[in-house]
Structure 1
Amino acid sequence: MQVKVIPVTPFEQNCSLLICPETNKAAIVDPGGDIEKIISQVKQHGVEVEKIFLTHAHIDHVGGTEALAAALNVTIEGPHIADKFWLDQLPMQGQMFGFPQIPPFEPQRWLAHGDTVSFGNQTLAVLHTPGHTPGHVVFNHVATKQVIVGDVLFNGSVGRTDFPQGCFNTLMTAIKGQLWTLPEETVFFPGHGPTSTIGHEKRTNPHVR
């Protein structure tokens, strides 16, 4: 599986284009906005998008989801249903963070820990990782040791927990219980900023060492 990072929105949120090299099929993770930029990357790589996956329901990660799903005629999977209240409050989120008004929506499929998502010939394991939001999930591609982690873990930092239903202790439990158990050479793609590896963060991240 190939991962192409596409920074979108004024928050520089890392939307990810996941590509199956065997079939030229693709999936998009967290299309927060700038859908013209995302579609341009899809065309540039010459792939056919099958699905949209969501790690969590903050507006900088989901703001362009419905418009992009309609443009590409694809379904939406994720996040965990515990983030439904964030999707229901999308208009309020837009007012809070200066985004355009976006109506509430629901995915075609809510995800739970232990589920899998797939596109082309690729399958990713779903891990429920609450703390930043209660319904946050990450997508682990075991075969290539790559994981899309949204706003759980960053290069040198961790996700904020001061939003409604955030919890620092819950986030630490998720990181240590779900991410630290992955192979140390696993590359993770965070929702903001540069990539890193699980092993590097285990050794150096000051928030969870």
Structure 2
Amino acid sequence: MSLPLEDSFVDVLGKAQRGLKFTDEQLSAAAILPLTDLYAAQQGEVKESVLRAIAIPLQLNADAFVALALKKSTPAVVPFVEGLRQYNTPYGDMTVNSYLVWDPVEKIGATFDTGADCSAMLKDIESLGLQIPFILLTHTHVDHIADLTKLKNATGARVAVAREEAVGNVEAFAEGHIYSLGGLVIETRLTSGHSRGGTTYLIKGLSQPVAIVGDAIFSRSMGGANTAYAEAIQNNLKKIYSLPENTILCPGHGPMTTVGDEKKFNPFYTI
């Protein structure tokens, strides 16, 4: 069963407004709307003409923005891929994802982040008889690495993260580093913006290409990037949306999706 979307249209509005550093007064003037209409939208009122007006200065895809508000934008149907599992665990008032990816033939793989609790992942690693030489981190925000000590101790895996966020006893890599695990080839792409070392892992060798994107992109949204919004948008365009449309995107929050689906329905994709 698919997870619900992480963000509503109100979240998208807020992320874009903060990222572009619009005050309410500035956004109201740019959208040629009364402040009362903007405030109503910020509180969740759905009025299509208002949302379309707001989308213009926020540089959002108006059709996708309205579809999200009208709840016509449902999560993508992602095909089953042997060698890929998603884990969703509660963390405070939200949930966070982690992933297990492996070569089904050679039984070797890697974990991506830990989530709040890696117990279910560890059970699968044991039951599948997998070797896990690496724990690969998309970024080091606490919700994504909350169970790192337990996962590292249980697997004996080496922990790796982009050099922009490397601290303590971890291995640091530069963008473009390649990991080879059995028949899997994992390429690192720096998709900073949400965090300075945010990394997307492009995985080839399964039945479909897979990209573990962390908080760079969510289904129908993206991670907050208040201080590096333009950087986040450009990295997503150049390094994620440029992937084949059947690439499965595995975000840090919410359901999995595909590049093709996000090009159609993500308000932040405007090309």
Q: Please, what TM-score do these two structures have when normalized by structure 1?
A: 0.82
Tell me the SS of whatever aligns to 1:158. coil
Task: Report the Cα distance in structure 1 between the residues aligned to 2:244 and 2:85, rounded to whole angstroms.
Answer: 21
- Amino acid in structure 2 at the alignment position of 1:67: K
2:184–2:204 Cα contact (<8 Å) kept: no
* Correspondence list, 1:1-209, <5 A: 2-10=83-91, 11-78=94-161, 80-84=162-166, 105-107=168-170, 109-143=171-205, 144-162=208-226, 166-209=227-270
Moved over 4 A (4+): none
1:57–1:83 Cα contact (<8 Å) kept: yes
Structure with the greater alpha carbon radius of gyration: 2
Task: Report the Cα distance in structure 2 between the residues aligned to 1:52 and 1:9, rounded to whole angstroms.
Answer: 20
Deviation at 1:150, TM superposition (A): 0.6
- Amino acid in structure 2 at the alignment position of 1:125: E
In structure 2, what is the equivalent of residue 98 of structure 1?
Answer: none
Task: Report the Cα distance in structure 2 between the residues aligned to 1:145 and 1:136, rounded to whole angstroms.
Answer: 20
Higher strand share goes to which structure?
1
Task: Report the Cα distance in structure 1 between the residues aligned to 2:104 and 2:95, rounded to whole angstroms.
Answer: 27
Name structure 1 gaps, 5 residues minimum: 88-104
In structure 2, what is the equivalent of residue 97 of structure 1?
Answer: none
The C-alpha deviation readout for 1:121-177, integer Å capped at 9, x for no partner, is 311111011000010111001343111101000110011113xxx411110010011
Task: Report the Cα distance in structure 1 between the residues aligned to 2:187 and 2:231, rounded to whole angstroms.
Answer: 20
Number of residue pairs matched by the alignment:
185
Task: Report the Cα distance in structure 2 between the residues aligned to 1:141 and 1:121, rounded to whole angstroms.
Answer: 10
- Amino acid in structure 1 at the alignment position of 2:169: E
1:27–1:50 Cα contact (<8 Å) kept: yes
The C-alpha deviation readout for 1:69-118, integer Å capped at 9, x for no partner, is 1221111111x12224xx5xxxxxxxxxxxxxxxxx331x2122111123
Tell me the SS of whatever aligns to 2:239. helix
Aligned Cα root-mean-square deviation (Å)? 1.7
Task: Report the Cα distance in structure 1 between the residues aligned to 2:129 and 2:112, rounded to whole angstroms.
Answer: 17
Task: Report the Cα distance in structure 2 between the residues aligned to 1:50 and 1:120, rounded to whole angstroms.
Answer: 11
Between the aligned residues of both structures, percent identity stands at: 25
Deviation at 1:42, TM superposition (A): 1.6
